[in-house]
């Protein structure tokens, strides 16, 4: 990048941050005390479900929650990765590793940053049905964005009412089918031989509403050895049984065969060629094949005008075959090929009552849920990409059961209170079937396959762990004016280690890591929400989170991670967002986050291969968590020009440490995207066309980091300037 370009980008960054900080001043300068203004504020704020499990205006809730609507999710985007739109939410970072083998990483208020693949520490839901396993592991690839009506992101302590997740809740809701039967084929293409094609069909017939979407996505990938294919089907069928009863059936299926993984690069390799993969990726054919089928039912029944019941049940199967860059075959290694077959199911029920207490409206909810996942897991020696000798054979079960109560009460005309309490019990069991010896051992055990020398044994690593916790939360809202609310909340959360995090011990010895403990956090938050002129909804929050027994990466070599508990950590931050409609077709959205996430106690870690111990000093930043993050968007619509719409998206992220020692950092970056499209309607037909350019300034930056990688391969470079072209045609019968 030239000097002039750097100055221009720096100027844009400064202007962008100034705009973010100026929003509160503009918003609070508005003053409207009428009840009409109050009604308009509530109407303009989105209706949310996740914080209280009841439909309410987000304006009146004592918590930070943001909603991304269907227009933002589906229009002028490829509709494959949740990072396309989730990056706009304050306090939220989505890291794109540029490989569908590892999926995308969501970090909320610094939680989830340690995940080497997928999502941890954050509850994922689709239409109320968990997309996370009972131990806390989840993947965003299950979400079908082509039928998404909205995405809700809940941050702060009220997420603890969903179980063993500290960071927050991300919930995707499927849209309803249109009134008339409508079919919509669509197609998009773009850089790196990327394309996506599909067909969506929905409608209404008497008491049945239905929507279904079938799609295929393929790409050669930005980097070498990163080809991917994803086939996905998602459907929802809703039947109104009578005036007070409805039943919904949701079916989701994904198939991702032979998705390649280029693995991380060192800083020198990034400078040499950011698109390369390392030789070990080709040698061991690193990557993953995944298939996941699940179905769920939701029954809602109104006992009366004041009482409602809701039941959910779901089940499914997941198979996962993965190759990592490990080819050793010693007596206790578990292999570089992992084969998993998982059966999972769950049930839940809740009762909601709307009543009065001391002549003031009171709503309370009582519920319980149970989730279970059983894994048949095997490991094999990875002989240059081919699975050979068996190295691991075990059955693992994770089960979570919980019960909760939460309530919202209008204490006085200007005061409302919310509170909740949950008890969660998580049980993890492992039954080891791979118990054997080396040929020189005199015991009666069978000889381990492929082991020809030595006297050691691979012992019985069976065992179980149980974690449980009570997690209370409370919040208060003060309605200062009809268009200005202040709120405060406090609560406790806990986060259990996942089965993956328990799978390996930091010292390399066999068996589950029974020394692991859950982390616990106390959350404090104050904030405000204001409806200003021009339909601007401004939200601001300040928070502090104190955590004990933080779960950290102990070692990360060749795609295999082990974990341990560190000491205390602290997260302190400020979040701002402003959503505005300016008239004449113009709209804007701005969000900004400051987050200081640090280790508050020194602890011992290790780095390199072999692992060398060192002390992580108090005050070091938690890896993968940026201190600054900002997003801005300006859009314009002019329907008279063949339904023309366009927009500019800007994103700035601060630098991030890649390891506990903070010895290396991924640099900060500023990226921009430009999009434009048209829409035509004629008779029963609707046509859309769009084009977008991502990373318009062709910035070279790191999209994600691999925390504490033992080989120094911390970096996953993001794609250079790239384009997408798309079109669709809808016909209503």
- Model confidence at 117, pLDDT cuts 50, 70, 90, reads confident
pLDDT at 532: 87
- Which of 151-155, 604-608, 712-716 is predicted least confidently? 604-608
pLDDT at 558: 55
In the beta sheet, which residues pair with residue 210?
203, 237
Q: What mean pLDDT do residues 398-404 have? A: 96
**Angle at the Cα of 217 (from 651 to 231), degrees rounded to 5?**
125
Q: What mean pLDDT do residues 26-52 have? A: 60
Identify the helix (H) or strand (E) that includes residue 514.
none
Among all chains, which residue has been given the structure tokens 């964005």? 145
Over 50: is that where the pLDDT of 20 sits?
no
| Contacts made by residues 68-71, CB under 8 angstroms, sequence distance 24+ | 68/150, 68/151, 68/153, 69/149, 69/150, 70/148, 70/149, 70/150, 70/175
pLDDT tens-digit map of 637-657: 999 899 999 999 999 999 999
Q: Tell me the C-alpha to C-alpha distance, in Å, between residue 392 and each of 122, 133, 290.
A: 29, 22, 20
Over 70: is that where the pLDDT of 64 sits?
yes
3-state secondary structure at position 165: coil
CATH code at 3-732: 2.40.170.20
pLDDT tens-digit map of 546-587: 999 998 887 766 556 788 888 899 999 999 999 999 889 999
- Model confidence at 25, pLDDT cuts 50, 70, 90, reads very low
- β-bridge pairing 168-174 and 122-126: parallel
pLDDT tens-digit map of 654-712: 999 999 999 999 999 999 999 999 999 999 999 999 999 999 999 999 999 998 888 89
pLDDT tens-digit map of 448-474: 999 999 999 998 888 889 999 999 999
- Which of 38-47, 73-82, 197-206, 584-593 is predicted least confidently? 38-47
pLDDT tens-digit map of 597-631: 999 999 987 765 666 778 999 999 999 999 999 99
Half-sphere exposure of 14 (CA within 13 A, CB side): 6
Q: What mean pLDDT do residues 533-542 have? A: 90
Kindly tell me the burial class for residue 658, based on how many C-beta atoms sit within 10 Å of its own C-beta (0-12, 13-18, 19 or more).
buried
Please state, as a whole number, how many other Cβ atoms lie within 10 Å of the Cβ of residue 593: 25
Over 60: is that where the pLDDT of 31 sits?
no
pTM of the model: 0.91
Please state, as a whole number, how many other Cβ atoms lie within 10 Å of the Cβ of residue 464: 12
Question: How many helices (H) and strands (E) are present in the chain, helices listed first?
Answer: 7, 43
What is the maximum alpha-carbon separation in the chain?
87
pLDDT at 504: 76
Q: What mean pLDDT do residues 46-74 have? A: 94
- Model confidence at 24, pLDDT cuts 50, 70, 90, reads very low
User: Cβ(155)–Cβ(165) under 8 Å?
Assistant: no
pLDDT at 606: 72
SS (H, E, C) 586-649: EEEEEEEEEEEEEECCCEEEEECCCCEEEEECCCCECCCCCCEEEEEEEEEEECCCCCEEEEEE
């Amino acid at each position: 990048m030239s000097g002039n370009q750097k100055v221009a980008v720096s100027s844009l960054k400064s202007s962008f941050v100034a705009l973010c900080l100026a929003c509160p001043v503009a918003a609070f300068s508005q003053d409207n005390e009428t009840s009409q203004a109050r009604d308009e504020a509530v109407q303009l704020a989105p209706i949310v479900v996740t914080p209280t499990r009841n439909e309410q205006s987000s304006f009146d809730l004592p918590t930070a929650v943001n909603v991304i609507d269907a227009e933002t999710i589906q229009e002028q985007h490829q509709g494959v990765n949740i990072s396309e739109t989730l990056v706009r939410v304050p306090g939220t970072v989505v890291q794109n590793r540029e490989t569908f083998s590892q999926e995308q990483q969501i970090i909320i208020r610094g939680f989830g940053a340690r995940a080497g693949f997928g999502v941890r520490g954050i509850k994922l839901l689709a239409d109320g049905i968990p997309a996370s396993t009972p131990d806390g592991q989840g993947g965003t690839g299950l979400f079908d964005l082509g039928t998404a009506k909205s995405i809700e992101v809940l941050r702060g302590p009220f997420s603890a009412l969903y179980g063993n997740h500290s960071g927050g809740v991300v919930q995707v809701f499927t849209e309803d089918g249109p009134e008339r039967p409508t079919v919509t084929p669509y197609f998009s293409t773009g850089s790196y031989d990327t394309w996506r094609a599909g067909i969506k069909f929905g409608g209404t017939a008497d008491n049945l509403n239905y929507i279904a979407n079938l799609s295929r996505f393929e790409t050669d990938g930005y980097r070498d050895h990163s080809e991917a294919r994803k086939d996905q089907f998602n459907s929802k069928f809703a039947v109104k049984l009578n005036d007070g009863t409805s039943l919904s059936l949701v079916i989701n299926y994904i198939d991702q065969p032979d998705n390649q993984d280029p693995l991380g690069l060192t800083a020198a390799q990034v400078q040499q060629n950011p698109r390369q993969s390392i030789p070990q990726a080709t040698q061991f054919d690193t990557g993953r094949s995944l298939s996941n089928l699940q179905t769920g039912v939701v029954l809602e029944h109104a006992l009366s005008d004041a009482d409602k019941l809701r039941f959910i049940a779901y089940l499914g199967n997941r198979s996962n075959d993965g190759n990592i860059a490990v080819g050793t075959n010693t007596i206790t290694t578990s292999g570089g090929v992992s084969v998993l077959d998982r059966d999972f199911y769950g049930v839940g029920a809740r009762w909601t009552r709307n009543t009065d207490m001391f002549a003031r409206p009171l709503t309370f909810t009582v519920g319980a849920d149970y989730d279970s996942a059983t894994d048949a897991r095997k490991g094999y020696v990875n002989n240059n990409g081919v699975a050979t000798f068996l190295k691991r054979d075990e059955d693992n079960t994770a089960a979570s059961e919980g019960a909760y109560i939460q309530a919202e009460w209008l204490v006085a005309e200007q005061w409302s209170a919310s509170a909740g309490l949950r008890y969660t019990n998580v049980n993890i069991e492992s039954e080891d079937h791979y118990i054997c010896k080396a040929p020189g051992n005199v015991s009666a055990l069978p000889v381990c396959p492929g082991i020809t020398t030595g006297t050691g044994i691979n012992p019985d690593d069976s065992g179980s762990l149980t974690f449980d916790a009570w997690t209370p939360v409370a919040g208060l809202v003060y309605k200062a004016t009809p268009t200005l609310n202040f709120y405060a909340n406090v609560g406790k959360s806990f986060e259990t280690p996942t089965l993956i995090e328990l799978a390996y011990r930091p010292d390399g010895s066999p068996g589950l890591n029974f020394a692991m403990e859950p982390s616990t956090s106390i959350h404090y938050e104050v904030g405000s929400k204001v409806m200003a002129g021009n339909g601007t909804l401004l939200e601001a929050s300040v928070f502090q989170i104190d955590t004990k027994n933080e779960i950290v990466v102990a070692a990360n070599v060749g795609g295999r991670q082990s974990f341990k508990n560190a000491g205390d950590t602290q997260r302190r931050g400020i979040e701002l967002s402003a959503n505005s409609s300016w008239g004449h077709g113009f709209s804007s959205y701005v969000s900004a986050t400051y987050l200081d996430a640090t280790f508050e106690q020194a602890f011992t870690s290790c780095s390199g291969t072999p692992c060398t111990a060192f002390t992580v000093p108090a005050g070091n930043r938690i890896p993968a968590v940026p201190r600054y993050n900002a997003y801005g968007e300006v859009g314009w619509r002019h329907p008279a020009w063949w339904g023309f719409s366009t927009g500019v998206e800007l994103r700035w992220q601060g630098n991030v440490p890649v390891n506990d020692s903070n010895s290396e950092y991924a640099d900060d970056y500023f990226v921009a995207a430009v999009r434009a499209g048209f829409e035509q309607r004629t008779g029963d037909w609707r046509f859309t066309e769009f084009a977008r350019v991502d990373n318009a300034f062709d910035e070279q930056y790191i999209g994600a980091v691999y925390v504490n990688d033992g080989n120094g391969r911390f970096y996953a470079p993001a794609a250079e300037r790239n384009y997408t072209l798309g079109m669709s045609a809808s016909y209503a019968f």
